[in-house]
Amino acid sequence: MGWLRVIALAALILLLIPIFVLLYYGLGPLRDSAGYSILVFRSIELSLVASALAVAVDVVVFTPLAYYLARGSDRIAESLVDIPISVPHPIIGVALLILDSPITPTGKILLGLHIDFYNTILGLVLALVIMSAPIFVKSMQPYFESRESSTEEFAAGLGASRIRTLFAVVLPESFDGLTSASLVSMSRALSEFGSISIIAYYVLQYPFYGVSPASVTIYNFFSGNTAGGLNAAVTASAAMILVAIPIALAGHFVRRRPRR
């Protein structure tokens, strides 16, 4: 274990270097007040709210998919789940944009129903759902797989359908797994940039009128779209890391295994 441990820790440090660099410079030599201004905190607030809403949708809509994959043998569905996070993320933003564009039939219908994705909280949440759901599903699937199937088979024998078994038997015992998967996927949603920079560069709705998601705000500092420059970008990044890391860590520390 000696050398293995050394190599493993070295690899881990390699992964964490960017985080430490940002924390060090963002909170130290490069600290800039623009990086922890009200603009940044509103951005982080928007990202937190939108990510939490996205995860709520993940739980409601994608838990059955995770259970289906865990208890079935649908290899095709299993590989399709990964596609949204396997393609360049801006593609998802473009897809949502086209889906809701006045030049497409779907867009005409959606806009006719006053459903607008562009620069709205709905568009932002939708993009985050698509980008976080695969992580949620891939987190819940092994959790369900590790559950002993006797209880579910008992329920089925008593006449319960699979969906009823999921909601009445499995989920009441899956709080740990749901919490953990939710935190991990929320962490993923908070870090999203590619898709939301296209579909919701900023939000033009109350209570976040004119506010950009945190990742976009950091990019704006860096690119000069917002006054502050590199120093503000680094400081805002450090602030974002301080918010995101506890969520990511909590997701991993919550017990992942079923009680039985």
The tokens describing 198, both together, are 């296209």
Does residue 154 touch another protein according to CB under 8 A?
Answer: yes
Does residue 1 touch another protein according to CB under 8 A?
Answer: no
Does residue 260 touch another protein according to CB under 8 A?
Answer: yes
Does residue 148 touch another protein according to CB under 8 A?
Answer: yes
Please say whether the beta carbons of 124 and 50 come within 8 A: yes
Total Cβ atoms within 10 A of residue 255: 11
Does residue 157 touch another protein according to CB under 8 A?
Answer: yes
Does residue 75 touch another protein according to CB under 8 A?
Answer: no
Which one of 122, 155, 178, 211 is in contact with another protein (CB under 8 A)? 155
Does residue 169 touch another protein according to CB under 8 A?
Answer: yes
By CB under 8 A, which span of 110-118, 165-173, 191-199, 231-239 interacts with another protein? 165-173
Q: Give the list of residues 6+ apart from residue 159 with CB closer than 8 angstroms, or none.
A: none
By CB under 8 A, which span of 4-12, 83-91, 136-144, 145-153 interacts with another protein? 145-153
By CB under 8 A, which span of 126-134, 164-172, 178-186, 234-242 interacts with another protein? 164-172
Buried b (16+ CB within 10 A) or exposed e, 124-143: bbbbbbbbbbbbbbbbbbeb
Nearest to residue 258, comparing CAs of 178, 164, 202? 178
Does residue 176 touch another protein according to CB under 8 A?
Answer: no
Burial zone of 204 (CB within 10 Å; 0-12 exposed, 13-18 middle, 19+ buried)? middle
**Nearest-5° angle of CA 87, CA 89, CA 93?**
120
Which one of 82, 88, 153, 224 is in contact with another protein (CB under 8 A)? 153
Please say whether the beta carbons of 218 and 240 come within 8 A: yes
Does residue 64 touch another protein according to CB under 8 A?
Answer: no
Please, what is the minimum distance in Å from the beta carbon of residue 79 to another protein? 23
Please, what is the minimum distance in Å from the beta carbon of residue 149 to another protein? 8
Does residue 3 touch another protein according to CB under 8 A?
Answer: no
**Residue recorded with tokens 């329920």:** 155
Q: What is the DSSP string of 221-234?
A: HHHTSSTTHHHHHH
Please, what is the minimum distance in Å from the beta carbon of residue 179 to another protein? 16
Does residue 160 touch another protein according to CB under 8 A?
Answer: yes
Nearer to another protein, 53 or 69 (CB): 69
By CB under 8 A, which span of 100-108, 154-162, 196-204, 236-244 interacts with another protein? 154-162
Phi, psi of 259 (to 5 degrees): -65, -25
Alpha helices in 28-161 (DSSP H): 38-57, 63-71, 75-80, 83-86, 89-99, 105-112, 121-145, 150-157
Binding site for another protein (CB under 8 A): 148-151, 153-162, 164, 169, 172-173, 259-260
